[in-house]
Structure 1
């Protein structure tokens, strides 16, 4: 996703994060919360002064002061609108290039700051999120950033700081279909996110945050059984096995560790982990990040498990030399050795070790690419 004119105007997302990224060649970017704050600051300034600052500079929670070019502006009577095109840097962010708008209207003194969801911004419809049901999906940190900047503009230009802020994102409802929002009860559009204002490329922080919100929504909905799934095929499998509702399905992807660490702190009665045999063999070997760039299938480890499950020395040697985890599995299936069950049981035990005695019963289901169950563990608790 390419950068655009709506990103930073020369100020880098500095400090340690920027330094950490230099060796990767990846460029950081800005959250929707930072863009909404910049748009709010520009719009309120125009309401009080008659002029839009362009570029507009804001202060992020950790002190960075990026500047943003305006992509849209209008001033009519008691309302002003400013728009910022989100630049996510080199992160594969679904909202990169989206136009984030803030429309600011003056309110009577004493009204405070009121937030509204405009077109493309969702509304919270299920409990368990850090916002009340019925509230616009503008997260707490972006709200505080906007409040702080409204107060600064009011102090600089003689305003009261009593305003209504309507945040919208062009085409946001369409973009939200590619996010977790519909599953966790945020309907009608995107969430306005960000805790630092900075998007760190490939940090996957938004994905991990979605996993956490998924656990929160499931718990708030009274569910006692959730499933961490590596993809759509595994979601279909656990739905068929356990008849779980959609909000019980956590899109774990490669982040097994993120699921386990959050459930450790926010327990549910039962956690099922379901995914491809090869990925779950990595968990069985002690890896918590299952991405192919950060962990590999350990064939000698599979050979040890197979040997313990009854494989001959010659079969174990074939497994250790196999090209893929799936090839090792097929060798064992042909020989009647339950390698899939052995991997599932070891992955379950590794998961329990990460849970550190939290009151959670765990079971693991391994599948092949077609969704056929090729290994399964019995449920086990602390």
Structure 2
């Protein structure tokens, strides 16, 4: 996925508490590079380091890794530091080339090598535009205007943003699925990367829903991983842009679809993760929710299991063990978990006009539980 770009309140306290070092978004790096390039174009010298002002008022300084001044254009490059976040773009070289334009042209953005182009509707940028998001565009415009005022210039420029190896890095992001082709997106709403904030993943889920709706998709599937995604695609014949890489963020999918409904939503995932949803957890990550074996034992009873089975599940250690015990006893625990997860999903949807169903799969992708009967979807018998 691309870099996180959202910061919650209490940032300093949060980061001090976690001991994790924040970093800078690609949007902040592109703004710094564009500011340095335009300064050199007008004044002949690159400011190094170059200082910018972020939307929240912070004023970080960026060292330049590239300085090129030739004719009517200048290029500056900044190496992105994502701090302690496991960000695919950490260490990437973000370049900005600034070229003067005729008076009245304004600020025009171009996609250089490694920056993608929007090819599908549903994103906050028009089809054909470079994938430079609105806040980074605003930041660059504001800094270009400030440099222009300092030198008495008009501020009419073309900014071409590129990222070295960006097309390769983009294969590890949502961009291909969202129809952003040719490279990365230039992202960030605050300019700051908060380690492990998960905001970029959640934002990608939302953009995935937007793109699918714009394409006229009426059935989406939120999947916890690659295995469940393959199962959902095979079972329902869904195209790639109808598949949402939900990961652990079931709540994020449900809340966004509640506000932006589609006729049908399937949640498909591993039995253990969906057993957490069945117990009322909306964040399925192991660090933030645990499998409740007592709850699974109760669901086994509801599915017709006896007290011996319930006791065996409660005394166990894993959701997989619970499922195996139930399968051996002929008790459809997978179906019961799927139904309970569906009911939790309905409660989050709060009456939004979305028909929701749930598929539970095992590690091989076989369906081991479903909330609603579907012809042609056999549940594994054991």
1:314 and 2:320 are equivalent in the alignment: no
CA distance in 1, matches of 2:356, 2:245: 17
Aligned ranges for residues 351-366 of structure 1 at < 5 Å?
351-366=345-360
CA distance in 2, matches of 1:250, 1:301: 28
Give the number of aligned pairs.
368
Instruction: Please provide the CA RMSD for this pair.
Output: 1.3
SS at match of 1:135: coil
CA distance in 1, matches of 2:316, 2:49: 58
Deviations 1:176-220 (A, max 9, x none): 000010011000000000000000000011111110000000000
How far does residue 18 in structure 1 lie from its aligned partner after superposition? Answer: 2.5
Q: Which residue of 2 aligns with 1:56?
A: 50
1:347 and 2:341 are equivalent in the alignment: yes
Aligned partner (choices 256, 279, 284) of residue 262 of structure 1? 256
CA distance in 1, matches of 2:361, 2:187: 34
Q: Using structure 1 for the length normalisation, give the TM-score.
A: 0.95
CA distance in 1, matches of 2:283, 2:99: 46
Deviations 1:229-264 (A, max 9, x none): 001100110111100000000000001011111111
CA distance in 1, matches of 2:164, 2:24: 17
Equivalent pair of 1:48/1:158 in contact (CA under 8 Å): no
Q: Which residue of 2 aligns with 1:3?
A: none
Aligned partner (choices 26, 33, 44) of residue 39 of structure 1? 33
- Aligned CA distance change for structure 1 residues 14 and 71 (closer, same or farther; 3 Å): farther
Structure 2: any 5+ residue segments left out of the alignment? 1-6, 374-382
CA distance in 2, matches of 1:208, 1:369: 24
1:337 and 2:331 are equivalent in the alignment: yes
CA distance in 2, matches of 1:154, 1:65: 19
Aligned partner (choices 172, 175, 179) of residue 181 of structure 1? 175
Runs of 4+ in 1 over 4 A off after TM superposition: none
How far does residue 159 in structure 1 lie from its aligned partner after superposition? Answer: 1.2
Q: Which residue of 1 aligns with 2:82?
A: 88
CA distance in 1, matches of 2:203, 2:349: 19
1:151 and 2:145 are equivalent in the alignment: yes
1:99 and 2:62 are equivalent in the alignment: no
How far does residue 19 in structure 1 lie from its aligned partner after superposition? Answer: 2.2
CA distance in 1, matches of 2:88, 2:148: 34
Q: Which has the higher contact order (CA 8 A, sep 6+)?
A: 2
SS at match of 1:111: coil
CA distance in 2, matches of 1:284, 1:308: 13
Q: Which residue of 2 aligns with 1:129?
A: 123
CA distance in 1, matches of 2:347, 2:190: 32
Aligned ranges for residues 192-341 of structure 1 at < 5 Å?
192-341=186-335
1:118 and 2:112 are equivalent in the alignment: yes
CA distance in 1, matches of 2:8, 2:244: 33
1:374 and 2:368 are equivalent in the alignment: yes
Equivalent pair of 1:81/1:104 in contact (CA under 8 Å): yes
CA distance in 1, matches of 2:162, 2:269: 37
Q: Using structure 2 for the length normalisation, give the TM-score.
A: 0.95
Deviations 1:126-184 (A, max 9, x none): 00000000000000000000000000000011111100000000000000000010011
SS at match of 1:274: strand
How far does residue 15 in structure 1 lie from its aligned partner after superposition? Answer: 8.4
How far does residue 16 in structure 1 lie from its aligned partner after superposition? Answer: 3.1
